[in-house]
Each structure stands twice: as C-alpha cells, then as structure tokens.
Chains A and B, each alone.
Chain A
C-alpha cells in the first residue's frame, strides 16, 4: 500500500444556508479544497452523504456533483454509512489512492438538512436505527442515547451537570471557529436548562441540524511535496461495526465499534492513545462525547466526565478533544461531519487553526459513528 497524504482542505460554515442548494454547497466546499491544494488535476471523486434522497428528494448524487465540478468524465461514487458517511467516503478514497488505482482524489461530504421540518428531520435521522424494532416503538436516536445516559448516570453516580460541562466546553471551543454553526459561549445554566428532547437528554445535549459541506484533496505522499510544504499523512484507518439493534448489545455503556475501530487504527499507525495530540470525536449527544473519550482510550470507563471536569480534554489539556466545537457546536451536517473532522485535524496539524490552534499537535485522530455505535470509523493523521 502507498502512503497517502492530505494536501488540501475546504469547509463551508455550518449554518442555515437558505440560498444554497445541495449542489452549490458541495461545489463551494470542493473549490475551497482544490484551491488549498494548488488545483491538481483530479482523478476521482468520493462523496459522503447520508440521505439526500430523504432530505432533498435527490438520489444519484455522485454524478450530479461530479458534473457540477467538471469531473463528469471521472469515476465518482457516493458513500453512505448513516451518520459516518463522511468518514466512510474518506475510508474508501484512502484505499483508492493507497492501492495505486488513482493519484489525486477529491473526497467530500455534504448534507442539506434545513429544507425539512424538525419532525421530518428527526424521523429521517431515526432511519439509521432499526425501522421495525426501534423506530417502530417511537424511539428516536436521541432516545437511545438518553437510555444510555440514564444508565450511565445511575451506574457511575453522575449528574446532568457533568454532561452540561462538556457542552459548555464545546461551545467555548466553537467560539473561536469561523466554520462553527454556534460560534459563541454558553453558561452552565443555559446548558442545563433547556427543553427536554428525550429525558434525560435536553436540547442543549444534542448536536443541531444544519447545512454543511467540506472536502479534502488526497494523493500519494510521495507526490504531495509538489503541492504543499505542510503535508499531513493518513497513517491509520479502520471501520468496525456492532449489533444493529441496541438491545442486542452485551455492554450498554460502551461503543464496541469505537473500541475496535480505534484499537485497529492505532495499531496500523503504531501509536497508543497517549500519543494522540488532538482528537475530533463524534459527540452527537453529550453522552456520546463522554463515551467516545472513554472508548478511544483517553479516560477509563466511567471517568470520561471526570476528564471533562479536570480540563484534560480542553484545548490546553492532555488530549484536546473537539477544538472545532465538535458536532455539538461546530455543527453536524450528517454526511459531511466526518470530512469536517478530518479538515479540522489537518488544519491543527499544519498549525493553521488560527485562534483555536492547540499547542504542538503532531498526531491527530477523527472518530465518526453511525446510529448508536452501530459503526465507527477512526482515522489517524500525522504531520510530516
């Protein structure tokens, strides 16, 4: 396998983009990435997208977006893996370049969610769960996370305040991120006292819905030098899955997919969790963020909330988590999220993250899950 590098990143601020279509949103992010990379000729396109069919009544996405970029004569593929579609697209693009089949590959993610009403969006998101035995009961994705949060609070004696502190940290991080949907700080009181969504989860525990697109240009590491002096290599990647139905899990308080994906990705990269200088993790709900901190190996089981309270995951802490503000405050345009995470890590490793730059970042990871940990994808990045 060839070593693969990222030579360009592009992001659009996550927002209500009333004036943008799914096509224009993606194209603008792709242009940003191409310009950042120095406009190499692109050999193939991968697009991560969860549900243009439901959100926008538009399928057959890859040729549509390839055409918009003048890449209609090149191979283009859409990759769907629920909420981790963005990372799934990167996973496939990485293998494409590593295999030697293509050299310069554009990989992006897009989700245009704001054209639908909230109850429609909640339903569409719940289609990542089992339709007959979870969604049928009226259970939402927030509901599964809420059941886990209640169990976690009960088992480890944790109060909602501890989860709210994670939310406050994410907003503080996002306040320095120009791409964030919610670039402002919030008080602990506000994080705690919002409308209930699926108790014990309240609105401020949830990632928002929003429109967004992000893109990367990747190529063989040996060709990267011609385009950039700030090369970032992808040195590990793995995807793992778990039982599709949450009630079939043997452990309700961990995401086995995260444990397996990170263990294999760390092994491939020849690192341990202690080597990670910065991480972008899948905090679709505050409980999911806490579990990610534990399952990725940054804290022991039942102690992720302590890592938050002691500042271990803050930008100047031992392992900064989500300097972007995470899904919670940067935003979670579903199929684009994994690419936003990768773009953030690349900027951090290049030292280009502006006011949100974490100190001395050499190795960074992204962690993107689907459903409640039905799958997890971890990528490991390293500054050359």
Chain B
C-alpha cells in the first residue's frame, strides 16, 4: 500500500510538471521535425538550426523584410553605403552587447565573416560568398568596409545571412552559441529539447515571448496532435493531410520550386521540340487540390514571384497533349530518337506526395508517347544524378526542389543554368552572359536583366520542365498570435510571436 501511495504521489507530481498544464506564462513551445545537430550560428542557413538560432540567438547586419515591402532593413548595421566602386561601408549599431556581456563592434563582424569562410570548419553560410573575393576591413569600432572583387551590388543582401559571433569564438563548432539576439541558449538536452531564455540586456525592444522550448518529432501527425492538445504552441511544418482545422492551420509559400531538370547533352533531350513536348504533356492544374495542397502555384520560373526580376509576362505551358504528340512525331521524322527510354529520377520523401506526383508525371508523359522509366531513390543516390559530373549513359530527367527565399535570383541562376553550374543541364552562351551581367548590375537594370533571363530560359531555351511553387503548412495553437510567412521555412523569430 505504501508503494501505491508513493507511486500515486509521483504520478501527481509529474502531472503538475507536464507542459500541458503549465502554460499560464509567456513561454512558448515549438515542435520541429528534425533535431538540431549543432546550435552553431554559422550553420543557420540549415532550416532546423535556423529556426532556433536566426535572429533569436544570433543576429545579422541586415534583414530582409518578408512581412511588408520594406526590402532590406537594418539590424546590427544602422546604415550602409557604397564607398568607392568595390567597397561597401557599414555603420554598426552602438551599445549592443553579446549575451556573454562583451560589447559588439566591427572586430566581431570581421571575425564572424572570416570564421564562416575558414577552411578549418565547414560552415554552411559561407557558400553564399563563394566566387567573390571579399575582404573586410575595420575602419573604427563601429564602421567596417567590405571590399569585393568583382563589384558585388547585393552585398548588403548577402550579409543578411551572416550571423555575428564574438571575436573570441574559436574556429570549431561551438556548443554554446553567443549572440546579440533577444534570446540566449538556456538548456540543451540532446535528443529531448532545447530551451532559450529571454535576455534582459537586449539592445532592442523586449519581445513578448519570455522563453522557448524546442521539441523534435519526426512524425508530422504527432506534431499536429501536439499543438491540438496544447503540448506545443507552434508546429511550423505539418503535412497537408493533417492541416484540417482552419482555426489553427495556415498554409504559406515555402519558397520551394519543384521542377524536372533536363540534361540536354543526351539525345533526345537536346532537341527543343522534345523538351516542348515534355512541357505540353503535363496537366499541371490537375495536381493542385488533389495530390498537392490547395494554394500550390504553377511555376514559370525556378524562383518564386517575390524574387527580384520575376517576370509576370511569362505564361505557363498549356496542357496540350495533341500538340505534344505532333511535336514528337515531327522530331521523330527528323531522326531524333524519341522512343529512347528516358529515366525519371524522383526523391522519396522530397515533399509530401512526391511518389504520387512523379507517378502521375510518368503517366502523362507516357500518354503522349514518351518511354519513361520512373526510379524513386533516396537522397544520397539522388544527389549523384542531380549534381555534376552527370550520369550520361541514358537520357535523364531529375525531379528536384529548389529553395530560394533570399529575394534575388543570383542564389539560383549560376548553379542551375550557367554552363559551369554544378546543377545546370544547359550550355548556352547567351544565358551565361545574362547571368554574368545581371550578377554585376544594380537597381532597375539588374531587375530587367533577370526578367529577360527568366523569359529566355522558359520560352526560348526551354531549359527544364518547371512544375510548382509549393506551399507548406503550419499549425499555430490558440494561445499565441503568429502568422507564418515565406521565411518560416528557414527561420522562426520568437519576437514575431504575440499572445491573444
């Protein structure tokens, strides 16, 4: 009997501590799909890490406004201007302290940049600075110059990805991230949870959320159930099939674009009529609201419509199977081997319903006379088809997703379409030239050049089979006030969360 009483007591005590009963404060619980392996600021472009770190623990010099139309906003930099042809000058905010109490100054910015690019650690954010020679130079404690070679018109935008760490941070992955953000790492129980606490000495306005607990559940149905039962407040990513409650569930453009990459080097895919037939054979409308979620958009470019230079005049390919058949017949008459078996490579679990989508594509292409062999592979194998050197023993279509929510096509164009690009299937001098000129251009000219490129790729080159701009689904509990945006795919600013 004594034991039973003790057990009952234990159970009662644990009830009092369980999260479902402890929410009359202003802490929030966020449930993510994948645990953060490291909480390293220089890895913040990885979404499971970015959702915890970005602008919560670590801040950046500039920040892209995704809720309004203010464009690039100041964060740790108060202002910036060109100081010479190849030099950008940033004026840093004064009176900012890191969570370890040290002062933020230009040396920290210099170190953060050099650390991210160091060959002693593999920081993911450094890939955005590749191909540009960037030299930071401290002018005074609160002014820093970045000299680039060649000129880099969008350097301020690139710096919206550089998370700032103190100049003492060693050249190895840290387990104790120090930042200037409104929150600091309070607790980390690997495999279980990560907790952030609000700082009292933050330079900006104090956010409403006092602390955050991050939990990790692989199963989307469990994440949705956790918000429903009140065990969590926000699940930034649930599956479309679980998003059934309009009170709690939001869909948001997740900045991913699905497409079929065509390697034009292997016949019959080098023939433009064959590529047009691929595009005309697909009834894209039929996918939306059936296999894919309502709200999914048909893509006319690899980048989402909010990207600089996105071209509204480009129209999506119509569904015209008869014309596709006619084009194939025409090509065949000219000796193009249109009956060759074409491999369609899809990635299992790439997005919800991926297998069904690729099966439907296979069906539609077969219907107009293509000979399609569908292979669903896992991520490692997929990568072998997706990036150079390509498998070229047979014609291949690689089904893939591309994510660029950074606002400028420069993050996509070179490696997707330049003849030297790691994932480019085309080799077109005009495309190469447009990419190079646009990359160096500014303002209106830049936007116009990207527009021209989008149209040229879609209408003249028929570079790929563009499919959809995808949507993600988030579930937000009744206690908190939060609207997901396109940025929710890569970050989750606690300061944007309010209470009802």
**Real complex partners, A and B?**
no
